[in-house]
Amino acid sequence: MKKRLLGYIDYVEKELAKEDLDRETFREQLLIQIQFFQHERLIHLIVTVTFALLLVMVFGLFLLTEIMSVLALGALVLVLLIPYISHYYLLENGVQKLYGYYDKVIDKEFL
């Protein structure tokens, strides 16, 4: 997904630089791609929050039981959570960038 998102952002930048851009067709295509990336972002948000809650529950369980294998489980969950957070960060920033390009296509310049 990272490769696809970054590749699409590069494509959008190149298309916006063209003088003969059909804005209406491009706007429709951009909106469809934004919806795809929004869906992906939502799914990854759900997964990331689920793993974060699982990590909190595992550490809570460790505090109650003080069993070292529970702490090892927490470490495994943390190892999975870090890439999920990184990927969600990329998706969030990429979608925000696409929003800005969409505003440029419809001739609105927002801060």
Q: What is the pLDDT of residue 110?
A: 44
Structural domain contains residue 97: yes
Number of domains comprising the chain = 1
Structural domain contains residue 36: yes
Structure tokens at 95: 């979608």
Structural domain contains residue 94: yes
Helix axes 23-65, 68-105, angle to 10 degrees: 160
61: left (phi over 0), alpha (psi -120 to 50) or beta: alpha
Structural domain contains residue 7: no
Taking Cα atoms as reference points, which of 109, 83, 95, 66 lies closest to residue 4? 95
Give 53-104 pLDDT, tens digit per residue.
Answer: 999 999 999 999 999 999 999 999 999 999 999 999 999 999 999 999 999 8
Q: In Å, how far from its chain's centre is CA 80?
A: 16
Structural domain contains residue 84: yes
Please tell me the distance from the alpha carbon of residue 8 to that of residue 98, in angstroms, as a whole number: 9
Domain assignment of residue 36, given as a range: 24-105
Q: What is the pLDDT of residue 22?
A: 86
